[in-house]
């Protein structure tokens, strides 16, 4: 019998899938014609995917494939200098196959409270689950305000140790052993995984070879998998307490409980585990909060009163509703206005009524998930928001912009010429508040 991990990596279809996925990623940035390896463009690899996949599978089966050293360069990012590198195209394909195989074989049960990098989980789900926990706490018989701890890990993936005594290696080896307990994994395949986690680099100028002893490789397909695996001890410790909501997305951690003592205990436990893993909390993003409708101060001086908190690009209120942060709200409105302006410009010679009805119809199409002309990003932002006051505000600004553009009158005086009621009733200008609950528009 062949080890299941070996079987996966010696199957040519594994690599063909990764070549197709890589093409889709590169196409999003129009980079499929720029990417190359040793003067061979990626599109040549893509169009010859069958032969390349067969060659990779056979070379790995013969244990002849070797990862190539990666060129490294330095960039300045947010007042810091950062080393960046990318694997060669074929290495990227092989490492993506390794990462996919490690995640697909569900022998290692990752905590349900980890929302990043795992298929079927997302930041949106983390936000909605957190809001749901708050609403359930409010509706329970033992209704109490909640205590909140949130933090993120300082330079998480850049701080993970990779020296000989790092916990990374035992975690990876244990995971590989569990993939197929009945069949021994040959050392060659174990080394393939280790090489992907700690690649060999060379400088652009000197060509000197070296390996980093700290920090996961930036841009490596395996980095996300290790980022999940490395904090498994923390996830198990914080997710096992009844009545506590715990969520982790990447390095962003949040805990909610009705008991201040529990939150303080878990805060200390998290610090201890992170210290053991050679990691630290980001002090600027670490806080203890008391969540109430009116942001009342807490009797326990460790906690700061608040009525809402920011989480993964959204704001969650003490009522358990989700609001878009000001920046995202503004960007969403700008994007909608841009679409409206383009539509109105195309119809500049048409009668006012026709321009208004056409723009209303365009917006209905834009937010109809079942229509191929819909804008999925706009829909996702709207679906995430559950705060009716914010949705009503968005409805108002959209209607006001349409009235201003059609009449040439600035501000609310534009509604004197074209009433808000007319736009909704006669022109069928969609209301985002109403659309959230209408299945025929594709909202869930």
pLDDT digit string (tens) for 50-69?
999 999 999 999 999 998 88
Q: Which two tokens stand for residue 307?
A: 């009525």
Q: What 3-state class would DSSP assign to 280?
A: coil
Lowest model confidence (mean pLDDT) among 78-87, 275-284, 416-425: 78-87
**Dihedral (Cα; 439, 441, 443, 444), 10-degree rounding:** 20
Residue 279 backbone class (left: φ over 0; alpha: ψ -120 to 50; beta: rest): beta
How far is Cα 66 from Cα 106, in angstroms, rounded to an integer?
27
Q: Say if residue 288 is exposed, middle or buried (CB neighbours under 10 Å; 0-12, 13-18, 19+).
A: buried
- Answer yes or no: are the C-beta atoms of 59 and 65 closer than 8 Å: yes
How far is Cα 251 from Cα 153, in angstroms, rounded to an integer?
5
Does residue 31 carry a pLDDT above 80?
A: no
For the chain, the 3-state helix, strand and coil shares in percent, each to the nearest 5, are 50, 15, 35
Does residue 128 carry a pLDDT above 80?
A: yes
**Alpha helices, H only, 40-186:** 42-47, 49-61, 89-104, 123-139, 156-159, 167-179
Rg for the chain (alpha carbons), in Å? 26
**Strand ranges (E), 22-65:** 36-37, 40-41
Task: Pick the more confident residue, 250 or 437.
Answer: 250
- Banded model confidence at residue 28, pLDDT cuts 50, 70, 90: confident
Residue 377's pLDDT is what?
75
- Banded model confidence at residue 25, pLDDT cuts 50, 70, 90: confident
Most confident of 181-195, 259-273, 329-343: 259-273
Does residue 86 carry a pLDDT above 90?
A: no
Residue tagged 């195989």 (tokens): 101
- pTM score, whole prediction: 0.83
- Banded model confidence at residue 444, pLDDT cuts 50, 70, 90: very low
Does residue 136 carry a pLDDT above 50?
A: yes
């Amino acid at each position: 019998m062949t080890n299941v991990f070996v079987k996966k990596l010696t199957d040519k279809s594994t690599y063909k899938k990764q070549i197709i996925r890589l093409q889709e990623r590169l196409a999003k940035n129009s980079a499929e014609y720029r990417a190359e390896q040793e003067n061979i463009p990626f599109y040549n690899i893509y169009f010859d995917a069958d032969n390349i996949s067969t060659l990779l599978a056979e070379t790995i089966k013969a244990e002849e494939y070797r990862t190539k050293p990666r060129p490294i360069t330095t960039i300045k990012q947010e007042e810091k200098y950062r080393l960046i590198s990318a694997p060669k195209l074929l290495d990227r394909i092989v490492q993506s196959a390794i990462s996919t195989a490690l995640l697909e074989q569900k022998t290692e049960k990752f905590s349900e409270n980890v929302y990043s990098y795992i298929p079927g989980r997302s930041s949106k789900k983390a936000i909605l689950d957190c809001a749901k926990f708050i609403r359930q706490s409010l509706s329970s018989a033992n209704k109490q305000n909640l205590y909140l701890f949130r933090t993120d890990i300082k330079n998480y993936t850049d701080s993970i140790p990779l020296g000989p005594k790092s916990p990374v290696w035992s975690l990876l080896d244990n995971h590989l052993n569990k993939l197929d307990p009945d069949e021994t994994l040959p050392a060659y395949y174990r080394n393939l995984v280790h090489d992907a986690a700690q690649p060999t680099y060379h400088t652009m100028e000197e060509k000197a070879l070296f390996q980093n002893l700290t920090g996961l490789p930036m841009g490596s397909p395996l980095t996300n998998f290790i980022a999940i695996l490395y904090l498994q001890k923390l996830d198990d410790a914080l997710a096992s307490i009844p009545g506590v909501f715990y969520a982790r997305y990447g390095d962003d951690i949040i805990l909610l409980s009705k008991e201040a003592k529990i939150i303080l205990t878990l805060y200390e436990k998290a610090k201890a585990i992170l210290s053991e893993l050679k990691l630290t909390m980001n002090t600027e993003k670490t806080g203890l909060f008391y969540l109430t409708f009116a942001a009342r101060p807490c009797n326990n001086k460790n906690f700061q009163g608040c009525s809402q908190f920011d989480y993964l690009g959204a704001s969650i209120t003490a009522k358990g509703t989700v609001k878009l942060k000001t920046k995202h709200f503004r960007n969403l409105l700008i994007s909608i206005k841009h679409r409206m302006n383009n539509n109105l410009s195309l119809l500049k010679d048409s009668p006012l009524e026709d321009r208004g009805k056409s723009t209303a119809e365009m917006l209905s199409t834009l937010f109809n998930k079942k229509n191929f002309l819909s804008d999925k990003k706009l829909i996702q932002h709207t679906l995430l928001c559950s705060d009716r006051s914010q949705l009503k505000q968005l409805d108002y600004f959209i209607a006001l912009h349409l009235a201003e553009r059609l009449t040439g009158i600035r501000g609310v005086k534009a509604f004197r010429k074209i009433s808000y009621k007319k736009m909704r009733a006669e022109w069928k200008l969609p209301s985002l508040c109403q659309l959230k609950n209408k299945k025929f528009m594709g909202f869930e």
